[in-house]
Chains A and B, each alone.
Chain A
Amino acid sequence: MRVGRVDFGGVVKEINLAFVPEARIGDHVLVHVGFAITVIDEAEAARVFEHLREIGELAEDGAAP
């Protein structure tokens, strides 16, 4: 049963990795009741901001247009 040490921004907790066999050191994971339930897709993580730029409501530097 694979467990990993997960850093929550300076606080470290041991988390069960059984549902994310593909997780590697350095990956960010979504954690629920002591289990990692997915690896965060870093490429997709920026989508929220790309979408906003596409609709013209966000400048390149993240400020208002």
Chain B
Amino acid sequence: MTAARGFAPSCPLPAGDGECVQLAHGGGGRAMARLLDALIRPAFDDPELDRRHDGAALEVTGPVAFTTDSYVVKPLVFPGGDIGSLAVNGTVNDLAMCGARPLYLSVGLIVEEGLALETLRAVVASIAAAAKAAGVRLVTGDTKVVDRGSADGLFVNTAGIGEIVAPAPVGPAQVRAGDAVVLSGDIGRHGIAVMAAREALGFETAIESDCAPLAAPVLALVESGIAVRCLRDLTRGGLASALVEIAETAGKRIAIEEAAIPVRADVSAACELLGLDALHVANEGRFVAFVAAEDAARAVEVLRRYDAAGAAAVIGVVGDGPPGQVSCRGAIGASRVIDMLSGEQLPRIC
């Protein structure tokens, strides 16, 4: 919580701006200029931003990847991350999944009137830290303030530009029968961490979100000479949704082995308590890579050199048909069909 009104030594804004974001902070006038100059630009610390121009002038050589995502996670802060780190890593990872090196990000903030300035400061610091860790520059952005009740604290949009470094096209259309499915690590942490932070569950857990930038391991894979057919980061809907989407788009079948999928014991326990299947729980720092069968072992070896992909493993194989089907062979030896979740598992998880 912030200090007494009028004296807030940790907050760079002068007294008179109070402890909370007000509509004036988005009004385009002096209050907004103060917010940007004192709180936002110093945190992001980028020469492009400091030019205070309508847009950034950038250089990119070669083919470009471009992506955008909006982040509405509730609560704003959860074990292992916050809306800020989520917003940076989510977009960085989408660029990586295109086989691109992430370069530049824009940040759009929609702030609810009444949000504590301390919270905004913390999220902005988190965005800056995540960008630095991911090696991307924050070069342009926007801030709006909306009436109380319109934004649940804070919504964030990030858009990203990266340079494509993959030597061949990467996407579901490239997936072939016989390809290996490689999963970068254990699943289910983010969804459980966010659910636990919402309090309604009444259980204690040390599970933290797996929110992390994935560009380094992905680019290592792509630049290693391994034939990478397709990449997909896992978010809402979990591993199941990612595999079903790819199987349907590629018109292929995917068969996975339950025993090969890493799930931490406490995540598994939480899923059982909540009646959830870990395959459907959200992740924010995991991806699947479809690689040529002969490259599977080497792909795992390359990925495991990186912390973010330390538990990488081959979990399955692509087949010809039935097209769009994902099946999972259980420990007991019988198979079941995996589909996307019907309806809502939990709203506002990302």
Contact = CB atoms under 8 A, between A and B. Distances in A.
Is the pairing of A and B real? yes
Interface of A: 8-14
A13 B266 contact: no
A41 to B, nearest CB: 21
Nearest to A13: B203
Interface residues of B, number: 14
A31 B253 CA distance: 39
A10 B204 CA distance: 9
B335 interface: no
28 contacts: A8-B203, A8-B269, A8-B270, A8-B272, A9-B266, A9-B269, A10-B205, A10-B206, A10-B207, A10-B264, A10-B265, A10-B266, A10-B269, A10-B270, A11-B204, A11-B205, A11-B207, A11-B266, A11-B269, A11-B270, A11-B273, A12-B203, A12-B204, A13-B202, A13-B203, A13-B204, A13-B273, A14-B202
B114 to A, nearest CB: 33
Contacts, number: 33
A34 B261 CA distance: 30
Interface string B51-87: 0000000000000000000000000000000000000
A12 B205 CA distance: 6
B268 interface: yes
Nearest to A34: B202
Interface in B140-186: none
Chain A interface, DSSP helix/strand/loop, else mixed: strand
A10 B205 CA distance: 7
Q: Which of A10, A11, A13 has the most CB of B within 10 A?
A: A11
Interface string B193-213: 000000000111111000000
A10 B268 CA distance: 9
Contact of A9 (B204, B206, B268): B268
Contacts of A12: 203-205
Contacts of B269: 8-11
Contacts of A13: 202-204, 273
A10 B272 CA distance: 12
Given A8-B273, A13-B203, 7 more contacts: A9-B266, A10-B205, A10-B265, A11-B207, A11-B270, A13-B204, A13-B273
Contacts of B270: 8, 10-11
A8 B273 CA distance: 8
Contacts of A10: 205-207, 264-266, 269-270
A60 to B, nearest CB: 21
A31 B203 CA distance: 14
